[in-house]
């Protein structure tokens, strides 16, 4: 009988792939924020606690943004204070501005993230200012974080396409990434926000960005809206990227295409990495169990194909 | 022909929806719907469309109307319409119905062969040899499939050398192309690479195709790996028709729309119009009363525009 957890890793991680990949789990934040149904605080806490037992090293816990804008994350303080914080695991939180940063630190956050974009229109529609203005706002956060010795992760949205502008120039992505890296972000996560990228555009974009930011500081955050995520991630790995964002059970639809999928499923990513002999430290079975838990709580089917296939074998 | 990127300039897409797809759907569609689907696919630019299977209706009732379908479809110039022929009897029946290309199905796993067609790999090869001999006499091209190329529902892991061995037998007996099938979709870029390396020692690259299932979401990554190694023929199924018979409720074939989207993004020519395929997919999903398995179709119909 076949079990996905026993996929042979005899296929060595040679031939141009990193030996290890850090998986950044964004389900509790990016995932839950983009789900139709809202789950109560204890469920969120249990989800994060279960994820903490899977071997994942980074779990994005919540977002310190005004509940007026993101009601799903209104319980950010309770979540941050309620979760088990295991040693060796990072629990970054989103902080869109200084106020959010201060609230996050007060609630016990030890790592934060800021969100930029490679598209002016997207920035305008999303946070009502220009890219330049958004980076100025982040400057305050960077300064405060530096003083408090808090690492900051930078996200760049729309790196392979924008719901408003359409095509996005790779040079623009490189420019914004460079700015955020220079401001002090230790890592830049490049997000294919609407999932339109393909291995072709991924390669082109990374080639430009890698001229400005060392590959060791790069991550990819691929959406599976057009089914391209794993192929795009594969190309990124081939180019030396070794940090990949994913969401348990593929939580989080696409807000720009009703009913379409969004985040790539962590289970499917880990399955692929296992098959490539790349070390992640993640226990796929425990991950699948966590996915089952949150899908039951959300009363929805999983978006992970590995999970779908496995529970019938 | 390879581009500067090392990828093929052109990839032939073999559309298996009307056969592999419909055969593995819960709902059986009437003959006229099948014919309409194939006719719509014929207008998309697809160079090859697997039409039906000349197998006993006792075993595969969904393909019982093979003769009517074969005779009923429009035959567009430049498009191949292969059909499955598991044995000599099926072959003769296919030819009588107007088929001009046939396919035979081998497997890299003894257990799978036994469970599927109740004989050993060797015995199945002997049956296929009868088909290829007759086909050669009639100038009918034969395509060979090798199932379980990356894993077997009964045996688990499958050794790449075994896949190479079976592929070589099929190629030597006259199959012009060997389609390597990840039947239960368990393969990953790691196992795809190892398997292709072994097979490429025995079969020229230009005679190889990959037939990936998306049961574990790995299909496009596996296909990308294959085309990076120079494979230039890819099987897929419109709307991702055809679930996995070994994992209830799980998906099977990779969706043609999603493959084309990726190949377009890589600048690889396929000759296929993505919108036209999405329309054909929409037609058959409506007829089957099911949602598409193609993410490209899902996203495109959701936002009302097609990127």
The predicted model scores a pTM of 0.94
List the domains of chain A with CATH numbers.
23-310 (3.20.20.70)
pLDDT for A127 equals: 86
Q: At what angle do helices A120-127 and A131-147 cross, to 10 degrees?
A: 70
Minimal Cβ distance to A200: which of B215, B267, B299: B267
Q: Best residue in A225, A233, A309 to probe B by mutation, most B CBs within 10 Å?
A: A309
The whole-number average pLDDT for the span B29-44 is 98
The answer to whether residue B112 scores a pLDDT higher than 60 is yes
The answer to whether residue B304 scores a pLDDT higher than 60 is no
Tell me whether residue B5 is in a domain. Answer: no
pLDDT in tens, B211-267: 999 999 999 999 999 999 999 999 999 999 998 877 777 789 999 999 999 999 999
Tell me whether residue B82 is in a domain. Answer: yes
Tell me whether residue B2 is in a domain. Answer: no
- How many structural domains is chain B composed of? 1
pLDDT in tens, A204-261: 999 999 999 999 999 999 999 999 999 999 999 999 999 999 999 999 988 877 777 8
Chain A contact present for B304, CB below 8 A = no
**CATH number of the domain that B26 lies in?**
3.20.20.70
Cβ of B189 within 8 Å of Cβ of A7? The answer is: no
Tell me whether residue B223 is in a domain. Answer: yes
Based on the residue annotation, tell me whether A254 is a catalytic residue of this protein. Answer: yes
* B208: β partners: B178
Cβ of B217 within 8 Å of Cβ of A9? The answer is: no
| Confidence band of A126 (pLDDT split at 50, 70, 90) | confident
State which residues form the domain around B128.
12-302
pLDDT for A260 equals: 78
| Confidence band of B303 (pLDDT split at 50, 70, 90) | low
The answer to whether residue B145 scores a pLDDT higher than 50 is yes
Minimal Cβ distance to B249: which of A196, A256, A312: A312
């Amino acid at each position: 009988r076949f079990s996905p957890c026993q996929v042979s890793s005899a296929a060595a991680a040679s031939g141009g792939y990193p030996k290890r990949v850090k998986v950044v789990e964004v389900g509790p934040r990016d995932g839950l924020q983009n789900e139709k149904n809202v789950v109560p605080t204890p469920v969120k806490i249990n989800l994060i606690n279960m994820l903490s037992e899977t071997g994942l090293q980074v779990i994005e816990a919540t977002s310190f943004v005004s509940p007026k804008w993101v009601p799903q994350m209104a319980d950010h303080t309770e979540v941050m204070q309620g979760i088990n914080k295991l040693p060796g695991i990072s629990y970054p939180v989103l902080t869109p501005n200084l106020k959010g940063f201060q609230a996050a630190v007060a609630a016990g956050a030890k790592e934060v993230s800021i969100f930029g974009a490679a598209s002016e229109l997207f920035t305008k529609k999303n946070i009502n200012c220009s890219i330049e203005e958004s980076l100025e706002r982040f400057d305050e956060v960077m300064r405060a974080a530096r003083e408090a010795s808090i690492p900051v992760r930078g996200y760049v949205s729309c790196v392979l396409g924008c719901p408003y502008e359409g095509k996005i120039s790779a040079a623009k992505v490189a420019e914004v990434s460079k700015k955020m890296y220079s401001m002090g972000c230790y890592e830049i996560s490049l997000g294919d926000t609407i999932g339109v990228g393909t291995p072709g555009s991924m390669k082109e974009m990374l080639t430009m960005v890698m001229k400005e930011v060392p590959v060791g500081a790069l991550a990819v955050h691929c959406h599976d809206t057009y089914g391209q995520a794993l192929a795009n991630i594969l190309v990124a790995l081939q180019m030396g990227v070794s940090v990949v964002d994913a969401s348990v059970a593929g939580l989080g639809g696409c807000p720009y295409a009703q009913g379409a999928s969004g985040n790539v499923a962590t289970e499917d990513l880990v399955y692929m990495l296992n098959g490539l002999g790349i070390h992640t430290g993640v226990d796929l079975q425990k991950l699948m169990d966590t996915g089952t838990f949150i899908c039951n709580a959300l009363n929805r089917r999983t978006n992970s194909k590995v999970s779908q296939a496995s529970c019938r074998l | 022909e390879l581009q500067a990127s090392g990828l093929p300039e052109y990839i032939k897409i073999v559309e298996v929806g009307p056969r592999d797809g419909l055969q593995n759907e819960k709902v059986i569609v009437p003959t006229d719907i099948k014919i309409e689907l194939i006719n719509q696919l014929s207008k998309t630019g697809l160079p090859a469309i697997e039409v039906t299977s000349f197998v006993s209706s006792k075993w595969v009732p969904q393909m019982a109307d093979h003769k009517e379908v074969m005779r009923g479809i429009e035959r567009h110039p430049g498009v191949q319409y292969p059909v499955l022929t598991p044995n000599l009897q099926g072959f003769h029946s296919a030819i009588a119905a107007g088929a001009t290309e046939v396919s035979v199905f081998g497997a890299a796993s003894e257990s799978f062969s036994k469970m599927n067609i109740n004989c050993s790999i060797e015995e199945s090869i002997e049956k296929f040899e009868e088909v290829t001999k007759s086909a050669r006499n009639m100038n009918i091209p034969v395509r060979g499939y090798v199932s379980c190329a990356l894993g077997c529902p009964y045996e688990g892991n499958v050794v790449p050398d075994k896949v190479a061995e079976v592929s070589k037998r099929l190629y030597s007996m006259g199959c012009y192309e060997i389609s390597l099938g990840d039947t239960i979709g368990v393969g990953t870029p790691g196992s795809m690479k190892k398997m292709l390396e072994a097979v490429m020692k025995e079969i020229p690259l230009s005679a190889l195709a990959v037939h990936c299932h998306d049961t574990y979401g790995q299909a496009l990554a596996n296909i990308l790996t294959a085309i990076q190694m120079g494979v230039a023929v890819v099987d897929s199924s419109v709307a991702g028709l055809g679930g996995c018979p070994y994992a209830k409720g799980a998906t099977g074939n990779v969706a043609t729309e999603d493959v084309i989207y990726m190949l377009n993004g890589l600048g690889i020519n396929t000759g296929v119009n993505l919108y036209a395929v999405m329309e054909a997919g929409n037609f058959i999903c409506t007829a089957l009363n099911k949602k598409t398995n193609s993410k490209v179709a899902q996203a495109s119909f959701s936002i009302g525009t097609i990127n």
